Structure 1
């Protein structure tokens, strides 16, 4: 009888021990998942914070770029239009003089006509810089071809352009951003690169649009350009971000520049 009771006690002890082990393992698993989940949430929050900070930088840089553009436009308007209109106003006032001769009237009329022609041409160029009419009327390829012709007319560069893009594949807003990227790249090459050759290639397939821009200029340190937050390079990267595009900028001193923008559709 005593041995039977002892045996039952052993069984109860084993069962209790097993239950204890199971409870301990369950608690361990719960704590593991709790802390793992906590860690995952922390990592996700850190990623979200990084994305928010990146978006803040993009917005801030975009605002700075817009302000710089507004200043440039304001300066262009002042230099190319306001000052010339002052001359027109002065000459128009002279025409109201009672003792003015016919010869003087004709001379003033010719001066006014010449100045107003210059003002019209300047305003056309400013409007073209703001929103190229070719882009709006005929699409991105025609606008890029026109842009390449303008650069080539300077006689400073050997230009190779190849555009195989299906019209309307990107929304008009996206085409404008891609066009502005090429504009900015040309501007950087013209101002800083001391290049003699430029290559622009735009191709499209069913699921992607690819832009490749190269020059043989003096090159630069991409890392230093990013550290200094150069408006040109930052503006290109920001526009690529708006396009949800992959942007690769390769350059080093003495080795020109190679930029690849890949837009997934």
Structure 2
């Protein structure tokens, strides 16, 4: 009794040759090539027959016969053009779709980045208020109570309490230092001046704090700032100014900084120039560090343009232009 084919053969039967051929014929390149071949043959045979019939009684028979030799070149060039046009047309369409997807992805990323910056600034402002109000008030209360305790102890005639009085005085001085530290942390998170007074006052305060902290003079010239500036624009300009000064303090080895800010024709311009060693021209053309990328991203999210001008030994200039939008989008950095 024939046991039949092994189990492997029953599970994986040999494909039918006609099915394989049918699968090959269904390929687009095979069908297109076959159509080109048939059309080319029909064209050559038909044109040759036409030339032969005309050449018998035509005075320019020699020229018509030369056309038969060029006919193959003509049809080959035509078929090549159709094939390349089809191929490159598909490639161009794919590239166009890819470019559109990249633009859409870039726009979504920009909106996401702007939204994250806005929420980050809101959170920083909230923390700054809590530190300034809650911690500041509680520390001030502690200082007042320590002052009261010092006065009470001073009224006593017992000199043995002098060490305790000294301890109270030292603790009061420590509270003063803690209050100053809380104010610095609050200012670093979100300067109160920016929201209550405006961009010009915040820039002047930042320049003063920079000079006190680093010893580098920062001359700030503020022009006409009478027009109202949307909060996202003011925040972007302030943060870019702040990061510019940070870069000067860390990397520039500068001895002075000159900055200018003004509004003209519905556009806010801000420039920060130092006389330091300059920066790498590659970074100026294509920022790649986190600080520079953050500045560039803030300017872009606010709808502005940021540029860097630098040369070795002659310092760096940061130039910002922000067109003022009276109705900024909520997703912009706040």
- TM (normalized to structure 1)? 0.63
Alpha-carbon distance between aligned partners in 1 of 2:234 and 2:307, rounded to the nearest angstrom? 19
RMSD: 3.7
Describe the shift of the 1:167–1:242 C-alpha distance in structure 2 as closer, same or farther (beyond 3 A). Answer: farther
Counterpart check, 1:47 vs 2:106: no
Describe the shift of the 1:176–1:53 C-alpha distance in structure 2 as closer, same or farther (beyond 3 A). Answer: closer
Counterpart check, 1:258 vs 2:314: no
Alpha-carbon distance between aligned partners in 1 of 2:286 and 2:305, rounded to the nearest angstrom? 20
Where does structure 1 lack aligned partners over 5 or more consecutive residues?
1-27, 93-100
Describe the shift of the 1:168–1:130 C-alpha distance in structure 2 as closer, same or farther (beyond 3 A). Answer: farther
Tell which structure's C-alpha radius of gyration is larger.
2
Describe the shift of the 1:246–1:227 C-alpha distance in structure 2 as closer, same or farther (beyond 3 A). Answer: closer
Q: Is the 8 A contact 2:281 2:310 kept in 1?
A: yes
Instruction: Within 5 Å, give how 1:159-170 maps onto structure 2.
Output: 159-167=218-226, 169-170=228-229
Describe the shift of the 1:211–1:110 C-alpha distance in structure 2 as closer, same or farther (beyond 3 A). Answer: same
Counterpart check, 1:150 vs 2:209: yes
Figure out how many residues of one structure are paired with residues of the other and give that number. Answer: 204
Alpha-carbon distance between aligned partners in 2 of 1:153 and 1:105, rounded to the nearest angstrom? 35
Q: Is the 8 A contact 1:139 1:167 kept in 2?
A: no
Q: Is the 8 A contact 2:309 2:316 kept in 1?
A: yes
Q: Is the 8 A contact 1:159 1:197 kept in 2?
A: yes
Match of 1:105 in 2: 164
Q: 1:174 aligns with which of 223, 233, 241?
A: 233
Q: 2:181 aligns with which of 122, 132, 142?
A: 122
Larger RCO: 1 or 2 (CA < 8 Å, sep 6+): 2
Shift of 1:250: 2.0
Describe the shift of the 1:117–1:193 C-alpha distance in structure 2 as closer, same or farther (beyond 3 A). Answer: same
Describe the shift of the 1:113–1:208 C-alpha distance in structure 2 as closer, same or farther (beyond 3 A). Answer: same
1:73-124 alpha-carbon deviations (Å, 9 max, x no partner): 9xxx9xxx9xxx9xx9xxx9xxxxxxxx522321221121111111111111
Q: Is the 8 A contact 1:181 1:239 kept in 2?
A: yes
* Structure having the larger proportion of residues in strand: 1
Q: Is the 8 A contact 2:214 2:249 kept in 1?
A: no
Where does structure 2 lack aligned partners over 5 or more consecutive residues?
1-81, 147-159, 325-334
